[in-house]
Chains A and B, each alone.
Chain A
Amino acid sequence: MENLRSWAASGLASASTAEAELFLASHKERVLKVCLSIIGHRERAEDAAQEALIKAWINRTDVRDDEKEAAWVRVIAVRQAWTEVRRYPDTDELSESIPDKGSADETALVQAALNRIPAERRIVLILAESEGMTMDEIGEALDIPSGTAASRLYRARIAFQTYWEQGDK
């Protein structure tokens, strides 16, 4: 009986290990990219990415089609990162002030301009620009109509251009 139990445990463990390695190798980097683009802060993005990957791993049997798995995991990552952004809406260090062009690098200036855009518009701009997602994909990920996503993207582009030009002067 003990032999049978150890054999079963080792069989389960080895199967899970290989499966987990493949799953993480397939999605880990991309999930972090999504979370980092949305959150803009490395440590918070890593936390959100880990939570997203664990959620995806637990529910991975929900996806029958392997080709759709990457898109499905990306939606989970987007929602996890979006939850993180809404949980701490006022913690963006750069949102309170715009750094001078001469004292900050371009990354900081872009972050400052992005952070001035209302969050629900900013995330649409980020998903479109960073991930190349369509309006339908963004609408599904954020649970909003695709027309609303398109409208928010338009307004976010105008806002970013305005804030960037203000910071660029």
Chain B
Amino acid sequence: MSKSNTRANQVLDTYFDKLHTEAAKDDWAPDLKDRVLKISRPKRVYEILLFSLVGAGIIAAIAMLTAREDPNAPPMMIDSPAVQSAQSRIGE
């Protein structure tokens, strides 16, 4: 590395150190926290609503499946007069 290159690197280091010191100097954007909170609150409400809806949907689906498999439900009337009539017509 040449002397001038070393000098150029030193200059860059000094420049960025100065910029970083300037950035840390004061508390900028004091209202940023309020802006962030305004954004976060509705999102959380929407998240809660979304999870509630999904949960309700899952419960409803389980309830429907359970109802179909109810052991106390009456058996299907496959030997009813209407079915026998239909079978005889198909046979004809």
- Indicate if the CB atoms of B20 and A33 lie closer than 8 Å: yes
CB distance from A129 to the nearest CB of B (A): 5
Is A110 an interface residue, CB under 8 A from the partner? yes
**For residue A34, which residue of chain B has the nearest CB?**
B23
> Could you mark each residue 136-157 of chain A with 1 if its beta carbon is under 8 Å from any beta carbon of chain B, else 0?
0000000000000000000001
Is A54 an interface residue, CB under 8 A from the partner? yes
Is A28 an interface residue, CB under 8 A from the partner? yes
**For residue B44, which residue of chain A has the nearest CB?**
A12
Question: Size range of the interface on B?
Answer: 20 to 34
A interface SS class: helix
Q: B9-17, B51-59, B81-89: which lies at the A interface?
A: B9-17
- Indicate if the CB atoms of A110 and B41 lie closer than 8 Å: no
Q: Given contacts A33-B23, A130-B19, are A24 and B13 in contact (CB under 8 A)?
A: no
Is A57 an interface residue, CB under 8 A from the partner? yes
- Indicate if the CB atoms of B16 and A46 lie closer than 8 Å: no
Q: A54-B39, A110-B15, A164-B7 are in contact. List 14 more A-B contacts (CB 8 A).
A: A16-B40, A20-B37, A24-B33, A29-B23, A29-B24, A33-B19, A36-B20, A50-B29, A53-B32, A58-B43, A107-B15, A125-B12, A129-B13, A165-B8
